[in-house]
Amino acid sequence: MTSVAVPAVVRGLVPSPDDDTFVVLRELPVPEPQDGEAIVAVETFSINRGEVLMLSGPPPGWRPGLDLAGRVVQAAADGSGPPEGARVVGQAPLGSWATAVAVPTSALAELPDAVSFEQAAPLGAAALTSLRMLRYAGSVAGQRLLLTGAAGGLGHFFVELATLQGARVTAVVASQERGARLLELGAEALVTHVADAEGPFDVVLDSIGGTSLTTALTKVAPGGLVLWFGQAGGEPAVFDMYALGTPSLARIVPFSFFNSGGSYADDLATLVRLVAAGHLHPEISTVADWAETNTLLVELRDRRLRGNAVLRISG
Residues 304 and 197 in one domain: no
134 shares its domain with 253: yes
Across the 315 residues of the chain, what is the mean pLDDT of every consecutive 10-residue run?
70 61 88 95 92 78 93 97 98 94 97 97 95 95 96 94 97 92 96 94 90 87 89 67 61 82 91 97 94 90 87 87
Residues 134 and 109 in one domain: no
11 in the same domain as 118: yes
Domain membership flag for residue 277: no
Q: Are residues 205 and 177 in the same domain?
A: yes
CATH of the domain at 41: 3.90.180.10
pLDDT at 17: 46
What pLDDT score was predicted for residue 231? 72
Look up residue 38 and give its amino acid: A
Check whether residue 109 and residue 145 sit in a common domain. Answer: no
Q: Which of 223, 167, 172, 224 is nearest to 197 (CA)?
A: 172
On whether both 158 and 242 belong to a single domain, the answer is yes
- The helix or strand, by DSSP H or E, that contains position 90, with its residue range, turns out to be strand 87-91
> Do the domain assignments include residue 269?
no
d(CA 145, CA 289): 36
Domain C-terminal end among 217, 243, 258: 258
> Could you give the CA distance from residue 101 to residue 7 in angstroms, rounded to a whole number?
10
The amino acid at residue 127 is A
Domain membership flag for residue 248: yes
Q: Cβ(105)–Cβ(81) under 8 Å?
A: yes
Whether residues 252 and 191 share a domain: the answer is: yes
276 in a structural domain: no
The confidence score (pLDDT) of residue 48 equals 86
The whole-number pLDDT of residue 70 equals: 98
Domain shared by 201 and 109, yes or no? no
Q: Are residues 200 and 242 in the same domain?
A: yes
DSSP SS3 for 69: strand
DSSP state of 32: -
pLDDT at 265: 97
Per the structure, the complete domain to which residue 36 belongs is given by: 5-123+283-312
Euclidean distance between CA atoms 164 and 139, whole angstroms: 12
Within a domain: 9: yes
Tell me how many domains the chain contains: 2
**Sequence-distant (≥ 6) Cβ neighbours of residue 249 within 8 angstroms:** 222, 223
- What's the CA gap between 110 and 27, in Å, rounded? 28
The answer to whether residue 32 is domain-embedded is yes
**Spatial distance between the Cα atoms of 56 and 12, rounded to a whole number of angstroms:** 11
pTM of the complete model beyond 0.85: yes
